[in-house]
Structure 1
Amino acid sequence: MKTLLLARHAKSDWGDASLADHDRPLNDRGRRDAPLMARRLLDEGIHLARIVSSTAVRARTTAAEYAAAQGVEVVQEPLLYAASARSILAAASRLPDEAEVAMLVGHNPGMQDAVAELTGAFVEFPTCAVAECLVDVDSWAELIEGSGRLVQLRTPAGRSAR
């Protein structure tokens, strides 16, 4: 059994129209929410062995907050930028097996769709939300559609769905 956390980046800043989408930073709310969510996971006993992030600035910055709280490094994965659910689950299937608990940080609608494909649960996925999914596999390579169960969806507003 493995635990996969699928995380959407924190709220981004749309204030500079000259920036490419990939280069948008977090806004004030995002800079506030990301460390709070990172601390919340740690306080709830979630210990990440691996964090993989989209290369977009807003995702990398969000992932860096989780990494700082957890004391792990972030691995950047270009395929997570604007990824489909299938691409996200393919990235998860390439995680190292020694990582029992791992997080992917990316974007919507891909993250929301990945939760649905993996667990069959359809959830609203606001910015900085984290879906905790138990995956009934011994190796990440065995991960397939429907092999997971949504344990909890955490949001910065404190709402949780089970």
Structure 2
Amino acid sequence: MKTLYMVRHAKSSWKHDVIDHQRPLKGRGRRDGTLVSNTIKGEMPPPQKIISSDANRALTTANYFKDAFEVEDKDFSTNHDLYDFSGQNVMKIIKGLDDSLQRVMIVGHNHAFTSIVNMLGNKYIDNLPTSGFVAIEFKEKSWSDITTGKTIKTLFPRDLK
């Protein structure tokens, strides 16, 4: 059995004169990322690996979850291919995960993440919000074989306010 945790990056700030890839989080994003990560750590087992987009806003968000779940540095990585908005690269990463891993968290971007949680999960989510967490469980033994799984948990900032 495989479990995929998907997290959309926290709310980013548009007030800085930087390229999209370097946009930081805004105050609300920092608060929501901390709130969701600290809540979910008490509700779900820790991921064995976290893979984040290397965009500033996603990496900062991923670090909140890394710290909350106490994931070691060796089990945390970035992948530029998660800086993907269509979902094709994200799906390649998911399907290519090491089968020794049972629980993996990926942190990235919309529209890809909303599309993928709806494609892989069995619960329709209109829009995966910033700092949104979704866990999907699959019966398959190999990541390359996953199709539709069961959405076992969603946690959005609005659920906690």
TM-score for both structures, normalised by structure 2 = 0.90
RMSD of the alignment, in Å? 1.5
Distance (Å, rounded) in 2 between the aligned partners of 1:154 and 1:46: 14
2:32 maps to 1:33: yes
Cross-structure match for 2:6: 6
Tell me the number of residue pairs that the alignment of Structure 1 and Structure 2 aligns.
156
Runs of 4+ in 1 over 3 A off after TM superposition: none
Q: In the TM superposition, what is the alpha-carbon distance from 1:21 to its structure 2 partner?
A: 0.4
2:152 maps to 1:151: yes
Distance (Å, rounded) in 1 between the aligned partners of 2:9 and 2:15: 17
Gaps of 5+ in 2: none
TM-score for both structures, normalised by structure 1 = 0.89
Gaps of 5+ in 1: none
Cross-structure match for 1:133: 136
Distance (Å, rounded) in 2 between the aligned partners of 1:148 and 1:52: 20
Identity, % of aligned positions: 33
Cross-structure match for 1:52: 51
Contact kept in structure 1, 2:82 and 2:90, CA below 8 Å: yes
Q: Where in structure 2 are the equivalents of 1:13-162 lying within 5 Å? A: 13-16=13-16, 18-72=17-71, 73=73, 74-123=76-125, 124-144=127-147, 147-158=148-159
Distance (Å, rounded) in 2 between the aligned partners of 1:149 and 1:89: 17
Deviation per residue, 1:67-102 (Å, 9 max, x gap): 111122321011110242232122112222222111
Moved more, 55-64 or 37-46: 37-46
Q: In the TM superposition, what is the alpha-carbon distance from 1:4 to its structure 2 partner?
A: 0.3
